[in-house]
Amino acid sequence: MLLLAGGLGALQAATLVAALPFCVIMILLVAGLFRQMNADLTGETLNTEGAPLSQQLRRIMTPASRTDILKEIERQGLPALETVYAALGAEDSDAEIGRDEAAAWLIVRHADRVFMYRLGARSRARPAVTQREAPVGRRPLEWRLTAQTGAGERPHDITGFTQAQIVADVLDKLQGWRLA
């Protein structure tokens, strides 16, 4: 059978063709490992201090509305940004703070670089519980408080953060921007 198919060369070619998908998988695996090793080297730490258990359960069981998130920006987010702004002003840094009806932001300028930390309300469709709710248009929305630093970074969820936790998040992102 081997002689009819082309001999040993055909067997070698078939082996290479069969192994090619595994090579692609291995290359992707190595790329993922390098990416995670770089994330480990940056020293990102997880914030283990959280809201009280009852507050966390309430947030999970009863998702926030847009008005809840806007109140959270007003009560937690804006005072946190003002705290960082005041500290930057004491250090003679070029900073400004801004607000509109749905967001608050802090802008810091240093030399020719600009850092922006923006708090805003972001919605997404709630998970479907029944088959009738499966289409995205039929699902109710849940709102999250998100923070974003710059155009390239994905917004991260800070719903339920205390004022001190938001200040720590701003300082962490500011430090990463300053060292970059």
Q: What is the pLDDT of residues 69-90, one digit of tens each?
A: 999 999 999 999 999 999 999 9
> Mean of the pLDDT values across residues 13-38?
88
pLDDT at 44: 57
pLDDT in tens, 101-147: 889 999 999 888 999 999 999 998 877 777 776 776 677 788 999 99
Residues found in the chain: 180
DSSP 84: H
Encoding tokens for residue 96? 């400004």
Q: What proportion of the chain, given as a percentage, has pLDDT over 90? A: 42
Is it the case that residue 42 has pLDDT exceeding 60? yes
Predicted TM-score of the model (pTM): 0.68
pLDDT at 133: 65
Q: Do 116 and 107 form a contact (C-beta atoms < 8 A)?
A: yes
Sign, CA dihedral 52-54-57-58, equals: negative
What is the distance between the terminal CA atoms of the chain, rounded to a whole angstrom?
62
Beta strands 113-125 and 94-99 are unpaired
